[in-house]
Structure 1
Amino acid sequence: MHAYSFEKLDVWKEAIKLSTNIYKITQTFPDNEKFGLISQMRRCSVSISSNIAEGTARLTNKDKAHFMTLSYSSILEFLNQAIIAKELEFISEENYKIIRFEVESISNKINALRNHFLKS
């Protein structure tokens, strides 16, 4: 059952999945990263789906598009952090490839949704 329109969006569902995966992956990071990359990556990943959800509640298509832009910015910020985590060898090559695939899929869908709102 979906109470709100954002819950029907595949992009929102994928963003939620990304967040839950990142919470699991960052559990293996060094303890001294608790307030560094762990916190940053978790907050950033949550921001992606949160901005999608908030954007769908906006009244104008311009506002909706703005929140999709914020979500897109969050996913690129998240990708940057994942690259750093990989370089520091906190993320395995396999997990990094999965993350890249998820980021590409989600970012493409966010852009499509943003463009839809701008054209409407």
Structure 2
Amino acid sequence: MRRQNRYNYQMAVEGSNKINNFYGLDAWKVSHSLVLETYKATETFPTKETYSLIDQMRRASSSITANIAEGFGRFYYKDKQRFYFQARGSVIELQNFFILGKDLGYIKSDDFENLFALSERSTMLINGLIRSIEKKK
């Protein structure tokens, strides 16, 4: 008999009406895609950027999903709000690095457009999270 995974990540990602975990949030799902795309984009950067721009971009991107997850796990409104604001700030920081990467010739125009659009979607969904907790205050 197959043991059921109580952390059913796949079910949450594929769809369920009730959100019981951070990975069921649309903001987390889109932001997770942004993290993965950021990691892919930075794979082609020059090695001289390994401990500077690559590291900064990867840290900023993973900070987005980490803050969404931590905010989801918090009980009090102000705690949730603080982490969601931090996640939004990390998206803006990452957008700055996308512009820098493009201007330095590390990110192609098409890739930049896709990354930036994904980051805008992430920001919009995080703003929705912030609004949703403000209604429940």
Under TM normalisation by the shorter chain, which class is it? over 0.9
Of the three residues 16, 19, 38, the one matched with 1:22 is 38
State the structure with more CA Rg.
2
**How far did residue 110 of structure 1 move?**
0.3
Who is 1:34 aligned against? 50
CA distance in 1, matches of 2:72, 2:27: 12
CA distance in 2, matches of 1:104, 1:17: 12
**How far did residue 8 of structure 1 move?**
0.6
Who is 1:98 aligned against? 114
**How far did residue 119 of structure 1 move?**
2.2
Q: How many residue pairs get matched?
A: 120
Q: Does 1:76 align with 2:95?
A: no
Greater RCO, CA 8 A, separation 6+: 1
Mind listing any 5+ residue stretches in structure 2 that lack a counterpart? 1-7, 13-19
Q: Give the match's secondary structure for 2:51.
A: coil
CA distance in 2, matches of 1:70, 1:115: 15
Instruction: State the percentage of identical aligned residues.
Output: 38
- Conserved? CA contact 1:15–1:48, under 8 Å: yes
Q: Does 1:112 align with 2:128?
A: yes
Superposition pairs for residues 43-54 of structure 1, below 5 Å?
43-54=59-70
Who is 2:103 aligned against? 87
**How far did residue 60 of structure 1 move?**
0.8
**How far did residue 116 of structure 1 move?**
1.3
Which digits, 9 at most, give the CA deviation of each residue in 1:56-77, with x for residues without a partner? 0101122111111000000000
Q: Could you tell me which amino acid in structure 1 is paired with residue 129 of structure 2? A: L
Who is 1:11 aligned against? 27
Who is 2:17 aligned against? none
Who is 1:62 aligned against? 78
